[in-house]
A and B are shown apart, each in its own frame.
Chain A
């Protein structure tokens, strides 16, 4: 059964820092990996989708990498801003599971 783990569970950093969020998954037979942002009490906003054949994707200050064979992905956020404060969720599709399998998320606080 696919399991997704995200480390750290929570992170608080000063504005302007570069940071890395980690995601690992147990079954490497995935179709893709998706990073989402969730604001309190709100829905999920898709940030980046990496296909299983890709190594990384970039969108603005965000860069996500995928190492499928080792079951790992990282989300790199450059020059963090207070508006980046949210919970970041990693989800994989495939690997013996139906639909997307989510991690529990990293709760990120950027201090002004």
Chain B
């Protein structure tokens, strides 16, 4: 069964460094998402992406964040200058046709900023 994959599974970085989290969505899906879950808190929406541009973004998704689909399979989240409070589990998700469709989540990347 097709699934969303994410790399790396764990990432440790120093405050102020740039990180890139990678995702491979399900191949025939058109909508892609990033969410994060700070330890012990709710899963929070960051951004949605469709047709090579951002569709929606939350207040969390400020200028330090960017997303890109560099090729036909990968979808990346870049954090330009990491802060301690960026430490969280980051989930990528995809759906076939956007609203009112099931979103399928990847296993997540656990990011620790020291």
Residues of A within 8 A of B (CB): 31-32, 34, 36, 41-46, 49, 51-52, 89, 91, 93-94, 97-105
Q: Is the CB of A102 within 8 A of B103?
A: no
A49 to B100 Cα, complex, angstroms: 9
Given contacts A98-B48, A98-B56, A98-B57, contact A46 B102 (CB under 8 A): yes
- Find A100's partner among B35, B41, B107 (CB 8 Å cutoff): B35
Residues of A within 8 A of B56 (CB): 98-99
Where chain A touches its partner, the secondary structure class is strand
Task: Please provide the chain B residues from 88 to 102 with a CB less than 8 Å away from any CB of chain A in the complex.
Answer: 91, 93, 99-102
**Max count, chain A CB within 10 A of own CB: residue among B4, B33, B43:** B43
- Tell me the total A-B contact number using a CB cutoff of 8 A: 61
> Can you name 6 extra interface pairs (CB under 8 A) apart from A52-B100, A99-B33, A100-B45?
A41-B110, A45-B105, A46-B104, A93-B100, A98-B48, A99-B46
| A-B residue pairs, 5 tightest by C-beta | A99-B45, A98-B56, A43-B107, A44-B105, A102-B43
Interface majority SS on B: helix, strand, loop or mixed? Answer: strand
Q: Is there contact, CB below 8 Å, between A49 and B102?
A: yes
Interchain nearest-CB distance for B67 vs A (Å): 13
- With beta carbons under 8 angstroms apart, the residue of A31, A44, A93, A104 that contacts B91 is A44
Are A99 and B35 interface neighbours, CB within 8 A?
yes
In the assembled complex, B25 has its CB within 8 A of some CB on chain A: no
12 contacts between A and B (CB under 8 A): A31-B100, A43-B106, A49-B102, A51-B100, A89-B43, A93-B99, A93-B100, A97-B45, A98-B56, A100-B33, A100-B35, A102-B42
Known contacts A98-B56, A99-B56; A43/B44 CB under 8 A: no
List B contacts of A32 (CB < 8 A): 99-100
Q: How near does chain B come to A26, taking the closest CB pair, in angstroms?
A: 14
Q: How far is the CA of A104 from the CA of B44 in the complex (A)?
A: 10
**A101 touches which one: B45, B46, B91 (CB < 8 A)?**
B45
